[in-house]
């Protein structure tokens, strides 16, 4: 008995891009698209719920939220270049705009050291992050735990494979630039 994958209808975003050499890549790409959008929606809605009692809070988008959590990571000040590198964002202007938005909202502070600015999370930012964490536990982690059948090692392997794919797409982007 075979795997049956060749006869099976593939779930893809763009059937015209499916290649006989790597049809499964199109399936992964569609999975990345819907997972990325769902994750972004979750971050925006979860953060909005956490900020509900913050009267002066501005609407935060995905890059704003990712930047906030990146600045907060491990409690050490971060440079713009380090935040961009961690998030794999090549356009520093996008992250710089997000940082300015977070500064105006009072969620982070910036301290100039030489030619660089080091960003840190403020108490206000910490409070928002802690509220987000509680909402994440209630809405996401508890629901995830209820699934029961998800193996932690399998998820870790999935995360590793996503990082490998990220490298593949980064290299493909560099190659496309040289065409």
With contact defined as beta carbons under 8 Å apart, do 80 and 113 qualify? no
CATH of the domain at 110: 1.10.10.10
8 domain residue, yes or no: no
125 domain residue, yes or no: yes
Alpha-carbon distance 97 to 48, whole Å?
19
Phi then psi for 4, rounded to 5 degrees? 80, -5
pLDDT above 90 (res 60): yes
Nearest to residue 128, comparing CAs of 38, 64, 54, 35? Answer: 54
15 domain residue, yes or no: no
With contact defined as beta carbons under 8 Å apart, do 119 and 99 qualify? yes
Structure confidence at residue 22 (pLDDT): 86
Q: How many domains does the structure of the chain reveal?
A: 1
Give the tens place of pLDDT for each residue, 88-131.
999 999 999 999 999 999 999 999 999 999 999 999 999 999 99
Q: Which residues contact 102 (CB under 8 A, 6 or more apart)?
A: 60, 64, 67, 68, 71, 108, 119, 125
162 domain residue, yes or no: no
Structure confidence at residue 6 (pLDDT): 56
41 domain residue, yes or no: yes
> What is the band of 1 on the pLDDT scale with cuts at 50, 70, 90?
very low
* Residue reference for tokens 């998800």: 150
Alpha-carbon distance 93 to 25, whole Å?
31
- Which range of residues forms the domain containing residue 120? 26-145
Mean pLDDT, residues 142-155 taken together: 81
Give the tens place of pLDDT for each residue, 76-89.
999 999 999 999 99
């Amino acid at each position: 008995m075979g795997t049956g994958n060749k006869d099976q209808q593939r779930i893809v975003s763009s059937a015209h891009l499916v290649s006989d050499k790597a049809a499964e890549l199109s399936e992964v790409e569609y999975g990345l698209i819907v997972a990325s959008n769902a994750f972004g929606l979750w971050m925006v809605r979860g953060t909005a719920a956490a900020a509900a009692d913050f009267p002066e809070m501005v609407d935060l988008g995905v890059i704003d939220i990712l930047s906030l959590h990146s600045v907060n990571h491990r409690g050490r000040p971060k440079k713009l270049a380090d935040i961009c590198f961690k998030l794999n964002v090549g356009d520093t202007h996008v992250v710089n705009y997000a940082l300015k938005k977070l500064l105006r909202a009072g969620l982070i502070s910036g301290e100039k050291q030489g030619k660089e600015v080091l960003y840190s999370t403020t108490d206000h930012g910490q409070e928002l992050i802690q509220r987000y964490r509680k909402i994440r536990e209630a809405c996401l982690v508890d629901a995830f735990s209820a699934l029961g059948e998800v193996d932690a090692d399998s998820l870790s392997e999935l995360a590793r494979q996503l990082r490998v794919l990220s490298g593949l797409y980064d290299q493909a982007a560099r190659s496309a630039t040289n065409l």
